[in-house]
Amino acid sequence: MSCCGKKPAASAFVRAKDKWNEYAENYRQHLEICGNCIELRRFHSVVPLGTPATKLDNCRICGCVILLKAGFSSQHCPIGKW
Ligand code: SF4
């Protein structure tokens, strides 16, 4: 029930959920792509290639922390991988 006493339209929730799922899937894909990239500078050096980017891993080319960068739709890979 909303503040005006009307029941919100179910489609608004469905749209918000779909948007969130799309965002989460893109984010996960970006971390996986970076995890397979040789330009990723790992915070922990013992992590094998292919492990999705975590914590303070950053890009050698742009210097960005991937965990943050991958979450913004306005950000892109400097060599066009995503
Ligand atoms: S942003 Fe691009 S170049 Fe940098 S680590 Fe990720 S995939 Fe590699």
Q: Is the pLDDT of residue 9 over 70?
A: no
Q: What is the pLDDT of residues 52-61, one digit of tens each?
A: 888 889 999 9
Please report, for residues 4, 8, 17, 31, 40, the alpha-carbon distance to residue 67 in angstroms, rounded to integers and kept in the order given.
Answer: 39, 34, 22, 7, 12
The Å distance, Cα 53 to ligand 1 centre, comes to 10
Given phi > 0 = left and psi -120 to 50 = alpha, else beta, which region is 27? alpha
Ligand 1 pocket, residue 79 CB under 6 Å? yes
CA 22 to chain centre: 10
DSSP class of residue 51?
A: S
Considering only residues 2 and 72, tell me which one the structure prediction assigns the higher pLDDT.
72
The per-residue pLDDT for 28 is: 93
Probe ligand 1: pick from 49, 65, 66, 74, max atoms within 8 Å of CB? 66
The per-residue pLDDT for 29 is: 94
Q: What is the pLDDT of residues 23-51, one digit of tens each?
A: 999 999 999 999 999 999 999 888 887 88
Q: Are 59 and 66 spatial neighbours (Cβ–Cβ below 8 Å)?
A: yes
